[in-house]
Amino acid sequence: MRKKIFLSAAILAAVVSAYAQGNGQAGITEATQMVTSYFEPGTKLIYAIGAVVGLIGGVKVYGKFVRREVA
């Protein structure tokens, strides 16, 4: 009996929150703006990580070249 009451309350809460959202256009617009605001800093972060990995790889290759370990 308790499970039925809890399940009914959960379904009612989900339905009420779905009606309260309306068409959701404002939320979609806000989410789009938030995602696009993170795009440029994220791109710069990926470039920085790539530069560090490239430098480390270059140093390793140079070290092997100097020690004549290159095949």
Residue 4, pLDDT above cutoff 80? no
Residue 49, pLDDT above cutoff 90? yes
Instruction: Please give the Cα distance from 24 to 27 (Å, whole number).
Output: 5
Q: What is the reported pTM?
A: 0.51
Instruction: Please give the Cα distance from 43 to 53 (Å, whole number).
Output: 15
Element (H, E) at 38: helix 25-66
Greater confidence (26 vs 17) lies with 26
Tens-digit pLDDT profile for residues 29-43: 888 888 888 888 889
Cα–Cα separations (whole angstroms), residue 49 to 27, 38, 54: 32, 16, 9
